[in-house]
Amino acid sequence: MIADFRPDGDALRYFGVYPALVTDIVDPDRLGRIEVRLPWLGADGDTVRAWATLLSPYADDDQGFEALPAVGTQVVIAFEAGDLRRPYILGSAWNGRESMPEAPAAPNNKRLIRTRSGSLLEFDDTEGAAKVTLSLRSGHQLVLDDASSEVRLTHANGSIVTFTAGGQIEIQANATVEVTASALNVHAPTATFDGLINCTTLIASAGVVSPSYTPGAGNIW
Confidence (pLDDT) at 7: 45
Q: Structure pTM?
A: 0.78
Round to whole Å and give the CA distance between 141 and 143. Answer: 7
Could you tell me the residue ranges of all domains in the chain? 2-92, 110-172
Confidence (pLDDT) at 104: 86
pLDDT string in tens for the chain (221-residue length) = 555 445 455 678 999 999 999 999 999 998 889 999 998 887 766 788 899 999 999 999 989 999 999 999 999 999 999 999 999 999 998 887 888 888 888 999 999 999 999 999 999 999 999 999 999 999 999 999 999 999 999 999 999 999 999 999 999 998 999 999 999 999 999 989 888 888 888 888 877 777 776 666 555 55
Direct distance between the N- and C-terminal alpha carbons of the chain, in angstroms, rounded to an integer: 95
DSSP collapsed to 3 states, 9-37: CCCCCCCCCEEEEEEECCCCCCCCEEEEE
**Spatial CB neighbours of 71, under 8 Å, sequence gap ≥ 6:** 22, 23, 24, 25
116 torsion bin: left (phi>0), alpha (psi -120 to 50), beta (else): alpha
The CATH classification number of 2-92 equals: 2.40.50.230
For domain 110-172, is the CATH number 2.120.10.70?
no
Three-state DSSP class for residue 121: strand
Round to whole Å and give the CA distance between 36 and 69. Answer: 11
